[in-house]
């Protein structure tokens, strides 16, 4: 927490900045105690920052795990995901996950700006923001961010890289 920029640290203060006596809070700040022994919201090493269990069941010991500490996993060349992709000479990234309109989109945009071929996989994305997924896909489709695998290009194999909070 002490090394986070102020804008990122603010995400951990939502409960303080937007205090309420309502038992049903419409927001939960990062790091908020979720109560009932559920731990803190999206803290590395907690169950709610882990890979979705049915997906994790298909993980292999050789898979690469890349933690991130921002909305984007590619905000800097020093990030584990960036280093892993460069080390393995990977140029195309398939994007999936939650939340499509936040973390997934942030990493997608940073990957695109860094020169990676970025492909968002519709069937494997979701968000709790009403209309967020559709707006995200629309914005990608009508902007220069849209990437195609065309001209007979195929993905010969997919190597898994897990990104988690």
The CATH number of the domain covering residues in 50-164: 3.40.50.850
Q: Quickly state the pLDDT bin for 13 (edges 50, 70, 90).
A: low
Other C-beta atoms lying within 10 Å of the C-beta of residue 108 = 26
* One-character DSSP codes across 72-112: -S-SSTTSHHHHHHHHTT--EEEEEEE-IIIIIHHHHHHHH
pTM: predicted TM-score of the whole model, two decimal places: 0.73
Residue-averaged pLDDT of the chain: 77
Q: What is the pLDDT of residues 29-51, one digit of tens each?
A: 677 777 788 777 777 777 777 88
| pLDDT for residue 80 is more than 90 | yes
Residue ranges covered by each domain of the chain = 1-43, 50-164
């Amino acid at each position: 927490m002490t090394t986070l920029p102020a804008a990122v640290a603010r995400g951990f203060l939502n409960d303080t900045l937007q205090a309420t006596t309502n038992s049903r809070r419409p927001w939960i700040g990062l790091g908020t105690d979720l109560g009932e022994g559920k731990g803190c919201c999206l803290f590395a090493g907690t169950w709610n920052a882990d890979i979705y269990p049915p997906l994790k069941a298909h993980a292999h010991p050789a898979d690469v795990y890349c933690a991130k500490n921002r909305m984007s996993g590619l905000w800097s060349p020093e990030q584990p995901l960036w280093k892993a992709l460069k080390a393995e000479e990977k140029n195309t990234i398939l994007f999936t996950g939650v939340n499509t309109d936040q973390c997934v989109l942030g990493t997608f945009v940073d990957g695109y700006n860094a020169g990676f071929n970025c492909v968002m996989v519709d069937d494997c994305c979701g968000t709790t923001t009403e209309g967020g997924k559709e707006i995200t896909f629309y914005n990608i489709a009508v902007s220069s961010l849209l990437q195609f695998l065309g001209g007979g290009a195929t993905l010969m194999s997919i190597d898994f890289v897990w990104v988690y909070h």
